[in-house]
Amino acid sequence: MFPSGLCFSKFLQNEPNFSYLRPHTNAKILLRMRHLLLTLALGSVLAAAPATDTWRDVSPHRSGVIQANGIRLHYLDWGGTGDAMVFLAGLGNTAHVFDTLAPKFTGRFRAIGMTRRGFGQSERPDTGYDIPSRVSDLVGFLDALKIQKAILVGHSLAGDELTAFAMAHPQRVIKLVYLDAAYDRSKMPAASFEKMQQVVMASMFAKLPKLPPETTPLERDIAMGKSRFGSLWNEALEAEVRENYERAADGSLKRRLVAPMHLLIGGSQKAKLDNETLASPALSFFAQSDPLEDVPEEKRKEAAEAARAVAAYLDGEIASQKKNPRARVVVLEKANHYCWFDRGDLVVREMNAFLEGTAEIAVRRTIQNIIAADNARDLEGVVALYTPDAVLLPPGLAPIAGTAAIRERYRGLYANSLPRLNQSIEELVVREDWAFVRGRTLGLFPGGPNQPAREIHDKFVMLLSRDGTAWRVARLMWNTSKAGN
């Protein structure tokens, strides 16, 4: 899968707006392509707002503008408490691209998305698109919000900013998360990328949706985004498209100007960013797919050599990242570049596991120990993992309170069967001396002389309290459900 900001064909497959065509290897040629495509696809820059447009941004964020590094930067704040988690969008995108992802972390972190200079509601100066300036923007942004250290999450081209920031300011980095973003663009085979761009672009032109002449530019953008993303289209992508427009004085919608793309790409290509020796802990997702999948067979053959060169480059970048002992690499096969849209559960689960601190790890260990004690029928071992005043709330039965009652409950279970259980954690939140855990228990009680075997498909909610450096269960509630529910 192509990293955006690194190749044009990745954008053509995945980006939500045609205004973000990406010059890099031959800026003049691609700028002419951009002009042609905009002329064909979008028509006039000004358009009346659709009379029946009732769309509303439903993402739970606050919108703000802050002065940083001498320019105005727009940001979204989804709230939350704990360490700051700052999301940085790829080339052509704004913070809205994280509208569905960022809220998933507000139980543990303060989630904020910054829109880089030149896009959305952020200021669009003529200069400052090199890597040092973009890093200075991020420094100024964090300073303005009084954030000393942050978890940085970057998509696509934002990976350059993550790496450069971590190299220059390691003391301000908690952890790094790269969403198909950890590439050294100075090494890319430019001629091969350009060849593939031409092939994919020609195929894309042939598949543009046919729309009535009276269709407004905004409606065209949305229709084309839906055509390109298919079932992955969502409110975050629509918010992205709409963020590219602003209301003119006469009430019409006007397309916002965007940053000089060739300066952004050039800035990234000139930077030599060493992800292999980066000292900050990093989680790197790589989304892989065939960029020529939808290209006609004869055109695929035409671009075959270029495709091999590009694939070798991308494989080399993954191998380089794997050499870093402080990096965890997750390769997503046949995944969209916007991997949190089509592999959302996996991406969130991997991020949560990577971002866990010592408290979360200790809580998870307590739950693992409960399951291990259950499967070993270790009565005293499991009872020791509960607080003296713990309460069990089984479905349809009276509460079981205190150490003695809990011991008898487990004694009865173990006397009649040998459990074969495992648990999956779906949510884990730690606040000071308390932890909340939600998940599922799956497995089998084989049964015994007086009890038939039964499958376990329980959903549970658990509260744990801190006891020194250990965690013990204070409350456990569960119910039963059928397999798959």
CATH number for position 370: 3.10.450.50
Q: Is residue 168 part of a domain?
A: yes
- From 311, 332, 355, give the residue that closes a domain: 355
Structural domains counted in the chain:
2
Pair type for strands 110-114 and 84-88 = parallel
- State whether 315 and 390 are in the same domain: no
Using DSSP, state whether 183 is helix, strand or coil: coil
Six token digits for residue 67: 């002065």
Q: Is residue 1 part of a domain?
A: no
- What residues contact 116, with CB distance under 8 A and at least 6 apart? 73, 88, 89, 122, 134, 137, 158, 161, 259
- State whether 383 and 294 are in the same domain: no
Cβ atoms of 51 and 37 within 8 Å: the answer is: no
Residue 102, phi then psi, degrees to nearest 5: -55, -40
Tokens 């498909």 belong to residue: 457
Residue 438, phi then psi, degrees to nearest 5: -130, 135
- State whether 345 and 372 are in the same domain: no
pLDDT of residue 184: 94
Q: Is residue 452 part of a domain?
A: yes
**How would DSSP label each residue in 74-104?**
EEEEEE-SSSEEEEE--TT--GGGGTTTGGG
- State whether 48 and 134 are in the same domain: yes
Six token digits for residue 349: 């689960």
- State whether 402 and 345 are in the same domain: no
Cβ atoms of 157 and 22 within 8 Å: the answer is: no
Q: Is residue 2 part of a domain?
A: no
- State whether 373 and 348 are in the same domain: no
Q: At 362, which helix (H) or strand (E)? A: helix 358-376
Pair type for strands 253-255 and 470-480 = unpaired
Cα–Cα distance, 483 to 481 (Å, whole number): 7
Torsion angle of alpha carbons 294, 300, 304, 309, nearest 10°? -30
- State whether 346 and 372 are in the same domain: no
pLDDT of residue 450: 63
Q: What is the mean pLDDT, run by run of 10 residues, along the chain of 485 residues?
A: 37 36 35 37 42 82 97 97 94 97 92 97 97 98 97 97 97 97 92 87 79 91 88 96 92 90 92 91 94 86 91 94 95 95 94 86 92 94 96 95 95 84 88 91 75 81 90 94 55
Q: Which is it for the CA torsion 285, 276, 270, 197, positive or negative?
A: negative
CATH number for position 214: 3.40.50.1820
What is the pTM for the complete model shown? Answer: 0.74
pLDDT of residue 448: 62
- From 321, 336, 355, give the residue that closes a domain: 355
- State whether 250 and 370 are in the same domain: no
pLDDT of residue 37: 37
Give residue 75's domain range.
8-355
pLDDT of residue 348: 93
For the chain, the maximum distance between any two Cα atoms, rounded to a whole number of angstroms, is: 82
- State whether 18 and 89 are in the same domain: yes
Q: Is residue 3 part of a domain?
A: no
Cα–Cα distance, 71 to 392 (Å, whole number): 56
Cα–Cα distance, 173 to 279 (Å, whole number): 10
**CB burial of residue 458 (10 Å; 0-12, 13-18, 19+):** middle
Fill in the amino acid letter for 22. R
pLDDT of residue 197: 82
Cα–Cα distance, 413 to 93 (Å, whole number): 55
pLDDT of residue 308: 92
Q: For residue range 469-479, list pLDDT tens digits in order.
A: 789 999 999 99
- From 355, 383, 398, give the residue that closes a domain: 355
Q: For residue range 117-164, list pLDDT tens digits in order.
A: 999 999 999 999 999 999 999 999 999 999 999 999 999 999 999 999
Cα–Cα distance, 315 to 183 (Å, whole number): 10
Rg (CA), the chain: 26
Cα–Cα distance, 143 to 344 (Å, whole number): 31
301, HSE (Cβ side, Cα atoms, 13 Å): 2
- What residues contact 478, with CB distance under 8 A and at least 6 apart? 393, 394, 395, 441, 458, 459, 460, 461
Q: Is residue 318 part of a domain?
A: yes
